[in-house]
Amino acid sequence: MIEILHTSLAFVVAIALLIAVHEYGHFTVARRLGIRVEKFSIGFGPALFSWRSRDGEVLYVIAAIPLGGYVKMLGENPDEQAEEFENKLSAEERARSFNLQPVWKRAAVAVAGPGFNFVFAIFAFMLVAWLGQSVLPTIVGHIAPASIAEQAGLQVGDRILAVNRSSVHSWQQMEEQLKDHVGGQVQLRVQRDERPVTLDMTLPRQSTDPLMLNVADSVLGFDPGLTIKVDDVMSGSPAERAGLKPGDIIRQIDGWPVANVNQFIERIKASAGHDVSVVVLRDQTLLQLQVTPVSDDHQQVRIGVRLASHAMHKAELYRMGLFDGMSYGFVRTWQMTRMTLSVFGKMVTAAISPDNLGGPIAIAQLAGRTADLGLVYFIGFLALISVNLGVLNLLPVPILDGGMLLYLGLEKLRGRALPPKFLEITQMIGLMLIIGLMVFAFYNDISRLFRG
C-alpha cells in the first residue's frame, strides 16, 4: 500500500510539474503578446482550488485529474470564431482575441508550450550533470569467443574512452553511440595498461532495429561482466525440484560460462524437456544441479526462476564542471529529441512494435522507481518525459500544438481564416486519435501487468 502511494505521489508530482511548465509557456507568451487569457488550469475535471489574478482577468485552477491542463484564451475555440460572436466583442476585446491576432503571434503562443518543455529539459539535464550521475564504467568484463570484439583485439579490462572520437563516460552513453553505427564502421579508443589503443570494427546490419538491441553484447560480443543471481524460485517449479535457491550465483549452463541473463534464457529455451546441467555458487561452494525446462500454457520454455544481473565493476560517480554541464544539457536534450522522433517514426512504419508504447501506468512506475533511486535520477526522468511531451505536442495532429501550427500554415497559404466548421470537425478527429492512442497505451500497460 505504501509503495502504491509513493508511486502515485511521484507520478502526480512529475505530471503536474511538467504540465505546469508546458501550459505556463502558452500562458506567459500569450499575456506578453497582449492576448486575453481567461483561464489557466492544471488538470481536468472538478476544481480543487481556484483563484483570480490581481487584475481579475485570469482564473487559475487546480483540478482533480492531473493528467492534462489547458490555457483558455478569448477567441480560441471554433464556436468563438463565428462572425456573430465576433460582432458582440468590444473594440478592446477584438484587439486581444486570439483568433484575430496575426499568424506570427498565434504561432508563437503554440510553440511556447513545447518550447518551455525543451527549455526545462535542458536545465534539468544540466542539473543532473552538475550534481553527478552514478554510472556503470566502460570497462570490458567479458568477451564472447570468436566475436567481432575478440577478432578486433578487444581485451577484458580495457576501458573504452571514445566511440568514433566521441568521448564516452558510461556504459549507457557508449551503447547509445554504438546504436548509431550499426551497419557501418566504428572505431573504439580504449585505455589498456595505462596506454591508449585504437581498434576498428564493422557492425553488420541487423534484422532487429538497433534501438531494441544491446549492441555491445548482441552485435559485437562484449559486456561489462555480469554476476547472474537467482532472485526468486517459484513454488513447485523445475528450478525448485532441482534444488535452486534464492541467492545462488549461476556460473555455467551445460559447461558454458554464463555471461548474461539473455544467454542463460536462450539456452533454457533450446532445452525444453531435456536435463540441463547448471553450476551455481552457494556460500562459496560450487554445486552442480540438474534441471529440466518445461513449456507453459503459452509455449514459453521456463524453469521457474527470476534472475537479476549485477555488474562486475562498481558504479562510478561522474560529475561535470560548469561549462561541460551546460553543454551536456543542450546535447542531451537534442539526443533525446532525435531518439523520441525516431521511435515515433519507427512505430508508425512498424519498424518497432507499437506494443512498446507506454501509458500512465508505465510512467507512474518509472516515476516511482526513479524517485526511489534519488533526486538526480528523478530529475533525469523529468527531463526525459519533458522532451517526450515537447515532441508529442509538436506532432501535426489537431488539438495538439503541432495541429495549431498546421492550421496557421494553411491559413497563411489560403490568405484568410479557416472555416469554424472545418476546425470543429478536424479537432474532433484529432481528439478521437489522441483518445485512441491513450487507450492503446493503457491497454499495453495492463497487458504488461498481467504478463508480469
Catalytic site residues?
23
> What is the pairing mode between strands 301-302 and 294-295?
antiparallel
Query: Which parts of 26-180 are beta strand (E)?
Result: 37-52, 59-73, 133-135, 142-143, 159-163, 166-167
Task: Write out the three cell numbers for 251.
Answer: 556460473
Contact between 70 and 79 under an 8 Å Cβ cutoff? The reply is no
Q: H/E element holding 287? A: strand 285-291
Give the count of alpha carbons within 13 A of 77, CB side only: 11
What is the helix, strand, coil percentage profile of the chain, to 5? 50, 25, 25
Nearest 5°: phi and psi at 306?
-110, 125
Sequence-ordered alpha helix ranges (H) in 199-260: 215, 238-242
Residue type, 236: G
Contact between 187 and 200 under an 8 Å Cβ cutoff? The reply is yes
| DSSP structure class, residue 202 | E
d(CA 150, CA 6): 46
Contact between 280 and 287 under an 8 Å Cβ cutoff? The reply is yes
| 3-state per-residue secondary structure call for 375-442 | HHHHHHHHHHHHHHHHHHHCCCCCCCHHHHHHHHHHHHHHCCCCCHHHHHHHHHHHHHHHHHHHHHHH
d(CA 165, CA 146): 26
d(CA 230, CA 248): 5
- With cell 508529442, the residue in question is 392
Closest by Cα among 20, 343, 28 to 179? 343
Closest by Cα among 71, 58, 72 to 20? 71
d(CA 406, CA 382): 28
- With cell 579490462, the residue in question is 157
